[in-house]
Chain A
């Protein structure tokens, strides 16, 4: 591993994205797995820092590592939908709260039924709050592919919600 003095840039970049990385992992996995994946992502970044340092944008590099970390974890244990109770409060007693919660659960259930590529784009867009260009960089695909996947994913969620009504 590199010396601490060599990793100041990495630590700065990490501090800037760690929160969104965790949100991404929390969207892709269970809440209790998110921290393990975050730690794994950090260790991978530390291990390969000497090979990367000074060769491009550190943030984009971290996102590529995050995507690979999640993919490797799901390959090892198989994709497992995140459990809804991790993230959702029970429906409130009043009608408005119950409706909002039920709506959100329905949307999330529809998201979980998407295939891996579409869920990945949704997580990077909405949980990690990445731009199309950043998503394209993280996934190694053209921006047009990101737009196309996002469109298909949202259209599929919309259709499923309408079917469930």
Chain B
């Protein structure tokens, strides 16, 4: 006689499909020779099926009672907050990139103004025009001729009256301009 616990475990394994074929064949042969054990095995297997049907039936009926679809719809992942969070993250990333670019631009400009203003290459001096060329508008071509003529027409006949120098800088500037004008 097989021990009852061992027999019932083997019977449960068989009911659940967890028994390998060789052991299953040996168990079937044993039970065929031992009718008492066969009845015990049948009883625990019946209990196994009752539990399986009751629990599986309960969960499936609970689903039906809630009006849920069978399998496909619930097989998908529940709606997660990821899409909205992903959009927010993308916007944040764009905003951060924009701020970084603005910050770098401003910082670079400040640095160049602070460090490199003295070394900024000055534009090359214009070649001095010959005296004759300075007065000959025809030598500049028709475009510049028209441009200069327009400027000369718009120039006031007399310079506006100057106010008195209010500071050393403006005084020197006015003096310089007077010299240039031959006054």
Contact = CB atoms under 8 A, between A and B. Distances in A.
Given A27-B58, A154-B51, 6 more contacts: A16-B75, A88-B58, A107-B51, A147-B12, A150-B12, A158-B43
B65 A155 contact: no
Interface in B26-70: 43-44, 47-48, 50-63, 65-66
Interface residues of B, number: 38
A113 interface: no
A163 interface: no
Q: How large is the interface on A (under 10, 10 to 19, 20 to 34, 35 or more residues)?
A: 35 or more
Contacts of A131: 18
Contacts of B65: 31, 86-87
A87 B59 contact: yes
Contacts of B43: 158
Contacts of A18: 74-77
A132 B43 CA distance: 21
Interface of A: 1, 3-4, 11, 14-16, 18-19, 22-23, 26-27, 31-32, 34, 38-39, 42-43, 46, 82, 86-89, 103-104, 107-108, 111, 122-123, 125-127, 129, 131-132, 147-148, 150-151, 153-155, 157-158, 161
Nearest to B85: A1
A11 B80 CA distance: 11
Given A31-B65, A87-B62, A132-B18, A4 B82 contact: yes
B16 interface: yes
- Main SS class of interface, A: helix
- Main SS class of interface, B: helix
A34 B61 CA distance: 13
A43 B81 CA distance: 9
Given A111-B51, A125-B16, A147-B13, A14 B77 contact: yes
A87 B56 CA distance: 10
A151 B5 contact: yes
B9 interface: yes
A26 B62 contact: yes
B9 A147 contact: yes
